[in-house]
Amino acid sequence: MSAVCHNLSQFYYGPRVSMKISRHLKENVWTWKSGMAAQCFFPRMVGARFFNGMTTDPVVREEGDTPRVLITGSLGQLGTGLAKILRTKYGRDNIIMSDIIKAPKQIVESGPYIYADILDFKNLQEIIVTHHIDWLIHFSALLSAIGEHNVPLAMRVNIEGLHNVMELAKQYRLRIFVPSTIGAFGPDSPRNPTPDLCVQRPRTIYGVSKVHGELLGEYYQHKFGVDFRCLRFPGVISADTHPGGGTTDYAVQIFHDVIKQGKFQCYLRPNTRLPMMYIDDCLRSLIEVMEVPEEKLKLRTYNVAAISFTPEELVQALKKLIPEFHVSYHPDSRQDIADSWPEVFDDSNARNDWGWKPEYDIDRLCEVMVDKLQAKYPKK
């Protein structure tokens, strides 16, 4: 077996490195007995530690240095806004946006944008090495309602993609952020309030993949010392991107439809309470948790909250600004998903450990959404 591995390592690394790998295997025969032999067949497992025939470790960024940041799935709801803030804070060229589709002209002109397929390990590895990445912010995922319609694809993107970025974070000692969600909880979870630590057991592939991500990240932190950080976000509301099909996206769609058409059809019952957050609060919480010293983190996965409301309460708040519009309610399959999710998040640990505090309530949320979208959809 070791001869086979030696030959394979010659193919990938050349004879000098191959001899070093072979010696390493002979000194650690127990790994074969415990089923770890597969590591020698996958260069990604050992490549970070062997270079030019010498054992080496990735360069570790000192606290206070300007980080080099890769954002996967950056053309989604959160990535564009986050990149803008981080570029202001850390410099235009230090924030690398990435996705698998062609970016709009304004994105390309705003700073570095590259192709990155999270299912292609070698592609990601090359990006991290070439661009000297320190932080990896992993947004690539299929959301709740969309994932339910294509479970195999959701498993590939949400789970296999996560495995790739976690392994890279281990190899290159990256600080990694993976968002989680209210969808990581299920009908057996306490709903009001929902604490950080409780029974989860979600019933969507999106939620299952997010629980997997939380636990895998915590395992990598415990086992390998990976600096893993995760926030469970509520429904995120933004005027800058269109709704993406998620269960909480009614709270975005209503503003578009009311301003453009004077009416809105809601796919949830009027009394369905869910946690929500304006995007500025969401992005600020992400940046704060990425910047907080590691010793302050008593958990690796935190709830963050801002407001909780029902569709009916959002309608009443919006009518303070736009008195005349019509709303109808026609619950669909997303109602079942919403009924299994938290109504109110308990984020006391985030507030106590690293000082989290939201700034937007429901009235301020409505004001900023109406202002932005009325400018986008001027009256004819």
User: pLDDT tens, 146-168?
Assistant: 788 899 999 999 999 999 999 99
Cβ density class 323-352: b for 16+ within 10 Å, e for less: eebebebeeeebeebbebbbbbbbbebbbe
Cα dist from 316 to 2, 106, 250, 289, 328, whole Å: 70, 36, 15, 33, 14
Residue 353 has pLDDT above 80, yes or no: yes
CB 72 within 8 A of CB 91: no
Give dist(CA 85, CA 290) in Å, integer: 13
Give the residue, 326 or 30, on which the prediction is more confident: 326
What mean pLDDT comes out for the span 302-311? 97
Give the residue, 39 or 202, on which the prediction is more confident: 202
Give dist(CA 187, CA 192) in Å, integer: 12
**How many other C-beta atoms lie within 10 A of the C-beta of residue 42?**
13
**For the chain, what is the radius of gyration of the CA atoms?**
23
Structure confidence by residue, pLDDT tens digits, 225-256: 999 999 999 999 999 878 777 789 999 999 99
For the chain, the 3-state helix, strand and coil shares in percent, each to the nearest 5, are 50, 15, 35
Structure confidence by residue, pLDDT tens digits, 54-91: 333 555 556 668 999 999 999 988 999 999 999 999 99
Beta-carbon contacts of 76 under 8 Å, excluding residues fewer than 6 positions away, are 139, 241, 244
Least confident of 18-27, 101-110, 310-319, 324-333: 18-27
What mean pLDDT comes out for the span 205-218? 96
pTM over 0.75: yes
Beta strands 227-233 and 180-181: pairing type?
parallel
Give dist(CA 56, CA 297) in Å, integer: 29
Residue 201's H or E segment, with its range, is none
What is the widest separation between alpha-carbon atoms in the chain?
A: 78
Question: Residue 289: which of 238, 237, 210, 233 has the closest Cα?
Answer: 233
pLDDT at residue 19, as a whole number: 44
Report the share of the chain in percent with pLDDT over 90: 76
pLDDT at residue 58, as a whole number: 53
CB 335 within 8 A of CB 267: yes
Enumerate the active-site residues: 206
For residue 288, count CB atoms less than 10 angstroms from its CB and return exposed for 0-12, middle for 13-18, buried for 19 or more: middle
Question: Residue 266: which of 329, 326, 316 has the closest Cα?
Answer: 329
Whether the CA torsion 204, 207, 213, 216 is positive or negative: it is negative
Give dist(CA 90, CA 99) in Å, integer: 21
pLDDT at residue 380, as a whole number: 59
Structure confidence by residue, pLDDT tens digits, 270-295: 999 999 999 999 999 999 999 999 99
pLDDT at residue 368, as a whole number: 98
**Structure token digits, residue 250:** 């009614």
Report the Cα 30 to chain-centroid distance in Å: 37
Q: In which residue are the tokens 């086979």 written?
A: 4
pLDDT at residue 143, as a whole number: 76
